[in-house]
Structure 1
């Protein structure tokens, strides 16, 4: 067998084995690696290079070495699940860099970080002043996790005592000018509904590069032709305007009647509708 042909076969075999090994090790191997996983990854790559190009060597020995290094993370992971001390040793622990707005200089030196590197990590989190930080910890994977002080945290609907509906993930119902039936059925809509929504926007299905429906049932589209302007959805603003008109009409009715019962009814319903408007106005303005 020619050497070049053997190298091709070894390459195909190694790629197949490496793909299967990576699938078994899981997605974590593709994201943040611990120190140990980093060493294992380099070693597996070295074994793979020798396995492919070292035609004079026994291929089974290479596969055996690859199998050993692929099996080690399984064993380490199993022990780590059972023993926290072992897990901390193998994967590392988080180190506090900032506490109560104060930089922990000793921990910086211990992890061999300079103040410039710390400030760079803070800027990546959109933080430019150390005193704004309540707590910051360098995770084992090298990321900096930050907790801002309460007065520097952005407002949330909970802080304002607002009740907001849960938001579901948007469904892609059109892709490359083709309708996707499964996402449509997920939101309990049909092709007829989709075509009606497209007619409202004044576009054809063939010209839609991407179409998505948000959790409120609104369709937004991106067209192949970037020069065409797509009007924004008007259903929600129109609904808000209608609700405000009804509330104003109720107030007028209350002022225009002399009957106490009718005046009370109109006033109460006007107040109820105003409360509803206050709760949903930020959504309908969307």
Structure 2
């Protein structure tokens, strides 16, 4: 087999193997990084080390492997940006570990997430008793996001002026121009209502980057055209 082709094939196989290994190890193994970030860091570090110390391997072959990895990482990031399905495949979905105050042992078992680690991450958020938690999700980067029960929330000025009833989780309605049919169905939200709200704002779903029904039943919409004259963060 041609040496160059051999290097390309071995590099792709190594990339896939790292992805599978990271998935098997679970989210808490790559805490603060997504699985994709973890693969990129490990891979680029290994290739660079070989470039420095593997003198028996010709430098051009290592450079070829490095280029292939960079291209794979770039293509994965690009596809994630363009496709929700690709984004889900590359980064995965958050995993619910507590719902309505109940610990979901089955979800924790699937990602090898222990009660000790759950309690550790709760303590890092100044929560020392799991019964204070309404919802908790392990994000793609291994971090824990928590919504406390209403009676354990910190009192705000708004709370002092009026009673605040139990709130629900926000509901994502549109992402990257696609209406999330499952979310509408699961929450008894009609597509006609959403279309009517968009028409009121002279919008179509294709123009919407992100639409969210907030906990207070307000519709938040972000469009592709933000109409910012002087953006603060421009690359």
| TM-score normalised by length of structure 1 | 0.43
Q: Secondary structure at the match of 2:157?
A: coil
Q: Which digits, 9 at most, give the CA deviation of each residue in 1:182-235, with x for residues without a partner?
A: xxxxxxxxxxxxxxxxxxxxxxxxxxxxxxxxxxxxxxxxxxxxxxxxxxxxxx
Partner of 1:58: 58
Distance 1:99 1:33 in 2: 24
- Stretches of 4+ moved more than 6 A in 1? none
2:139/2:145 contact within 8 Å kept: yes
Equivalence for 1:121: 121
Hey, what's the Cα distance between the residues in 1 that align with 2:159 and 2:126?
22
Measure, in 2, the Cα distance between the counterparts of 1:116 and 1:52: 41
Q: Provide the C-alpha distance between the structure 2 equivalents of 1:54 and 1:129, rounded to a whole number of angstroms.
A: 51
Q: Is the 8 A contact 1:102 1:130 kept in 2?
A: no
1:82 deviation in Å?
2.0
Secondary structure at the counterpart of residue 141 of structure 2: coil
Give the equivalent residue in structure 2 for 1:139: 139
Long gaps (5+) in structure 2? 1-30, 163-235
What is residue 19 of structure 2 aligned with on the other side? none
**Aligned-pair distance for 1:71?**
2.1
What is the total number of aligned residue pairs between the two structures?
132
Comparing 76-85 with 137-146, greater Cα deviation is found at 76-85
Pair 1:109 & 2:136 matched: no
Q: Quick check: 1:37–1:73 contact (8 Å CA) kept in 2? A: no
Larger Rg computed on CA atoms: 1
Cα RMSD after superposing both structures = 2.1
Larger helix percent: 1
1:85-104 to 2 correspondence within 5 Å? 85-104=85-104
Tell me, in whole angstroms, the C-alpha distance in 1 between the residues paired with 2:85 and 2:93.
10
| Paired residues of 1:96 and 1:137 also in contact (CA < 8 A) | yes
Shift of 1:161: 4.4
| Unaligned runs of at least 5 residues, structure 1 | 1-30, 163-286
Q: TM-score scaled by structure 2? A: 0.51
Write out per-residue CA displacement over residues 113-156 of structure 1, whole angstroms, 9 at most, x where no aligned residue.
Answer: 22222111111111122221111001111001001112211112
Q: Any conservation in 1 of the 2:35–2:140 contact (CA below 8 Å)?
A: no
User: What's 2:83 paired with?
Assistant: 83
- In the alignment, the residues of structure 2 paired with residue 115 and residue 57 of structure 1 have an alpha-carbon distance, to the nearest angstrom, of 46
